[in-house]
Amino acid sequence: MKNTLLLFFNLCCANAFAQQQVDLNVVPKPALVKVTGGNFLLDSKTIILANSKDHNAIMLNSYLKKYYGFTLPIKNKPAKNETPIFFSEIHSETNYPVEGYGLNITKNKIEISFKTAAGAFYGMQTLIQLFLLHLKPPYLLPTVEIKDYPAFSYRGMHLDVSRHFFPVDYIKKYIDYLAMHKMNNFHWHLTDDQGWRIEIKKYPLLTSVGGCRNQTLAGRYGSDKYDGTRYCGFYTQEQIKEVVKYASDRYVNIIPEIEMPGHALAAITAYPELSCNPGTEKKVGETWGVFEDIMCPTDYTFNFLENVLTEVMALFPSTYIHIGGDEAPKEAWKNSAFAQSLIKEKNLKNEHELQSYFIQRIEKFVNSKGRKIMGWNEIMEGGLAPNAAVMSWQGEKGGIEAAKQKHYVVMTPEQPLYFDHSQTRNEDSLTRGNFNPLEKVYAYNPLPPVLSASEKKYIMGAQANVWTEYFDNGNKVDYMIFPRLSALSEVLWTPASQKNWASFEQRLPGLMKRYEWWNSSYSTAYYDLQPAVVSGPKNEIIWKLETRYPNAKIIYVKDSSTNASFPYNNAPLIINHPGLYGATITDNNSKIIGKWTWQLFELNKASGKKITMTTPPNASYAGQGGFSLIDGVQNKLGMLKSAQFIGFVAKDLEAVVDLENIQPINEIILHAFEQQGSWIYRPAAVSFFISNDGVNYTEVKSGLSITGDKNILYSCKPAISSRYIKVIAKNFGKIPSGMPGAGGNSWLFADEIEVK
Ligand code: TNX
């Protein structure tokens, strides 16, 4: 029996491995792989050759136990016939890559060679991935020679535990996800407006008061409903120590983040003296966004922060300590006599320089303890602290600038590295919105081409951020990070020359099995129907549908009744009639295997017509340019579904729709949007014009009206015939003080022009 089994394995696997010559099922893909065509038999004669206290041996057994339910004997000396797995430290090669390893599997031994302990651990992770899932000895492994090392030294993931709290068990699971993907930094976002999550012995109110909020916003930001439920959570110092140890056993460094001077409502509520206005009412944040009450640059505050950081540094051995620094509105400092006098005293130009003074003072303290600070890209405003590293989140601009100034950088650009953005355009659950699909993550390159070779050396690597406003449990976080985390691990580990999307796609089904086996949710968005509303060659509105399921078919329905369905046949679906359209995927036997995706089309005389715009929208909210305004898709949610909108910052919208011939016009409507918390303001003014020649326009003012609250409709009723329609919406302009985003440029958002 055993022989037949072996023969089977030989045939099946020799064949499989011949095909996998280039692509072992390992993520991130190793730098150099040579499959040598033989097999190693893992059976009862296999031992781990090591000292019984050897860390690597213990870790290997703990992974085997956890995921496969068996361990191997750890022995000092192999008996005759025993086949060893062993770790050998390289002493000689001085150029051996840091964190690199060799994995050499021959017929009768498995050798993991390494220079640093982390390398041994990564070799072990590769070895484990070569095992089949549900492995039980006896088992044949392919013989291989792997030489592997990381492309970047900083390979990170972030998790926000303030907006929602995640228990220690989940944090450990998360750290394991990193470790199994050869990632080495966990950025633990421990404090924010909505909760302070780390015990500080000297300031017990931080957790007893700042660790709780009375209720939480229900639904997406912009909603006005609250859940009415008190929400609390924090980690004790003992728990933090346990997590730090767990991480360091897996070669994951934890960078703790203590937010200052903004995003600090929880701390301020616990200790109001931290605020420039200690007398005003304080409460731990219950909704999301940015708050104006920030830490005041007083001696009280600096003393407080030094005490807090002293305890933090005692818990976390990390060289880098993250001090936040993002999104700190300057209103409170503008209105504070103390802050203003400090600006004068220190000869600073403005509040931005005061923020820089704030950060530099903290930096000096952190440096004096032998550590370094890292902060969000806003710490560059008003001058960068001398030794600070920059985390570039608002695109790569801050990172590029910092690298040019010879500061170390971690790239975390919102697109594509914010994993709170959706992986699918067809998201049922609550997320932040936007769209950062797997392939965009995979394609990311942390090294901006504008940097010279010597400047690129300052880019330590990259990290994905997981803000948890909308995720209140580990399953949801898993669903948001997988499989994007796996793609990111390959961005950061695999040499650019070896990165290959098609190869990653092939390894994706294996990854998904692995997630299941870890008991982790993940997104199957990769297989989703990919719907898009696009412009056809003859000014049609087309609903384009695509699937990546092998051997699948797409069907669609023309109204919400799913009884009469039509095959999609990969021909463009031209939308001539309004209504709710639906589509899904079936297998070859017409069995539905996908989710339904729905699209409401509301057509009018402007739909699909030629549209020209004087100024293109901002690249971050470009939609499909003018087409987005006449695509028959109207936002009805009162919330930002960004793909539907185009946005302009500090600019006006001016669009001309050509109806192709002179037609009676009863009404023209512009659909705009307002969400002040996101700095999106309604237009200062909207005007409508008509023309028969596209040159001479007459303004129409009859029947002007403004309706709606968040989705705002500007309309006029000309009751006239015309061919060209021009709509001008003036940007709200600079945001006045006292309003969200004060002092900055406002956004103008629009999603549709209707002509009836
Ligand atoms: C901006 S990204 C923030 C966070 C929010 C995130 C999502 C960054 C440095 N700051 O405080 O959670 O947007 O809403």
Q: What is the pLDDT of residues 197-242, one digit of tens each?
A: 999 999 999 999 999 999 999 998 888 899 999 999 999 999 999 9
CA of residue 390 to ligand 1 center, whole Å = 15
The identity of residue 529, as a single letter, is L
Out of 320-324, 443-447, 735-739, least confident range: 735-739
Asked if residue 98 lies in contact with residue 116, where contact means CB atoms within 8 angstroms, the answer is: yes
Asked if residue 351 lies in contact with residue 330, where contact means CB atoms within 8 angstroms, the answer is: yes
The DSSP secondary-structure symbol of 508 reads H
Q: Which of 192, 258, 466, 467 maximizes ligand 1 atoms within 8 Å of its Cβ, making it the mutation to test the pocket?
A: 467
CA of residue 220 to ligand 1 center, whole Å = 14
Q: What is the pTM of this model?
A: 0.81
- Rounded to whole angstroms, the Cα distance separating 503 from 495 reads 14
- Rounded to whole angstroms, the Cα distance separating 166 from 238 reads 16
- Neighbouring C-beta atoms of residue 670, cutoff 10 Å: 24
The verdict on the CB of residue 326 being under 6 Å from ligand 1 is yes
What atom of ligand 1 comes closest to residue 469's alpha carbon? 12
Which pLDDT value is given to residue 94? 84
Where residue 28 falls among pLDDT bands split at 50, 70, 90?
very high
Which pLDDT value is given to residue 343? 98
What atom of ligand 1 comes closest to residue 160's alpha carbon? 12
| Phi and psi angles of residue 687, each rounded to the nearest 5 degrees, phi first | -130, 155
- Neighbouring C-beta atoms of residue 693, cutoff 10 Å: 8
CA of residue 469 to ligand 1 center, whole Å = 9
Where residue 745 falls among pLDDT bands split at 50, 70, 90?
very high
| Tens of pLDDT, residues 136-176 | 778 889 999 999 999 999 999 999 999 999 999 999 999 99
Residues shown for the chain: 756
CA of residue 466 to ligand 1 center, whole Å = 9
Among 115, 146, 119, smallest CA distance to 130 is for 146
- Rounded to whole angstroms, the Cα distance separating 457 from 206 reads 39
**Angle CA(371)–CA(374)–CA(376) in degrees, nearest 5?**
165
What's the rounded mean pLDDT across residues 616-644?
Answer: 86
Angle separating helix axes 168-180 and 117-130, nearest 10 degrees: 90
The identity of residue 711, as a single letter, is N
Helix runs in 648-708, H state only: none
| Tens of pLDDT, residues 637-658 | 777 766 789 999 999 999 999 9
The DSSP secondary-structure symbol of 679 reads T
Q: State the pairing for strand pair 553-557/565-567.
A: antiparallel
Out of 36-45, 240-249, 399-408, least confident range: 36-45
Q: Which of 158, 193, 294, 327 maximizes ligand 1 atoms within 8 Å of its Cβ, making it the mutation to test the pocket?
A: 327
The verdict on the CB of residue 470 being under 6 Å from ligand 1 is no
Which pLDDT value is given to residue 594? 79
- Asked whether residue 289 carries a pLDDT value surpassing 90, the answer given is yes
| Phi and psi angles of residue 259, each rounded to the nearest 5 degrees, phi first | -75, 135
CA of residue 467 to ligand 1 center, whole Å = 7
What atom of ligand 1 comes closest to residue 163's alpha carbon? 12
CA of residue 686 to ligand 1 center, whole Å = 32
Residues of the chain by 3-state class (helix, strand, coil), percent to 5: 30, 30, 45
| Phi and psi angles of residue 10, each rounded to the nearest 5 degrees, phi first | -60, -50
Among 118, 267, 102, 274, smallest CA distance to 196 is for 267
- Asked whether residue 680 carries a pLDDT value surpassing 60, the answer given is yes
Which pLDDT value is given to residue 538? 86
Half-sphere exposure of 285 (CA within 13 A, CB side): 25
The verdict on the CB of residue 467 being under 6 Å from ligand 1 is yes
Which pLDDT value is given to residue 428? 80
Which pLDDT value is given to residue 52? 93
- Rounded to whole angstroms, the Cα distance separating 426 from 446 reads 28
Among 603, 580, 581, smallest CA distance to 753 is for 603
Q: Give the CA-trace dihedral at 390, 394, 398, 399, to 10 degrees.
A: 60
- Rounded to whole angstroms, the Cα distance separating 567 from 569 reads 6
What's the rounded mean pLDDT across residues 469-480?
Answer: 98
Q: Of the listed 148, 192, 420, 478, which one is catalytic?
A: 192
Known catalytic residue: 192? yes
Where residue 15 falls among pLDDT bands split at 50, 70, 90?
very low
Out of 5-14, 329-338, 392-401, 424-433, least confident range: 5-14
Q: Which of 163, 193, 257, 326 maximizes ligand 1 atoms within 8 Å of its Cβ, making it the mutation to test the pocket?
A: 326
- Rounded to whole angstroms, the Cα distance separating 516 from 586 reads 24
What's the rounded mean pLDDT across residues 673-689?
Answer: 94
Asked if residue 381 lies in contact with residue 437, where contact means CB atoms within 8 angstroms, the answer is: no
- Asked whether residue 9 carries a pLDDT value surpassing 50, the answer given is no
The verdict on the CB of residue 376 being under 6 Å from ligand 1 is yes
Among 723, 604, 579, smallest CA distance to 671 is for 604
Where residue 713 falls among pLDDT bands split at 50, 70, 90?
very high
User: What does the block give as tokens for 401?
Assistant: 């600038």
The verdict on the CB of residue 327 being under 6 Å from ligand 1 is yes
Task: Look at the block and give the residue holding tokens 């009206």.
Answer: 705
CA of residue 53 to ligand 1 center, whole Å = 44
Percentage of residues in the chain with pLDDT exceeding 90? 81
Which pLDDT value is given to residue 22? 43
Residue nearest to atom 5 of ligand 1 (CA): 467
- State the average pLDDT for the chain: 92
Known catalytic residue: 263? yes
The verdict on the CB of residue 395 being under 6 Å from ligand 1 is no
User: What does the block give as tokens for 538?
Assistant: 């003859």
Query: What is the DSSP annotation of 247-315?
Result: HHHTT-EEEEEEEESSS-HHHHHH-GGGBS-TTS------S-S--S--B--SHHHHHHHHHHHHHHHHH
What atom of ligand 1 comes closest to residue 467's alpha carbon? 12
Known catalytic residue: 587? no
CA of residue 464 to ligand 1 center, whole Å = 12
What are the beta bridge partners of residue 94? none
Residue 281, Cβ density class (10 Å: 0-12 exposed, 13-18 middle, ≥19 buried): exposed
Which pLDDT value is given to residue 561? 63
Q: Of the listed 187, 263, 421, 671, which one is catalytic?
A: 263
What atom of ligand 1 comes closest to residue 394's alpha carbon? 2
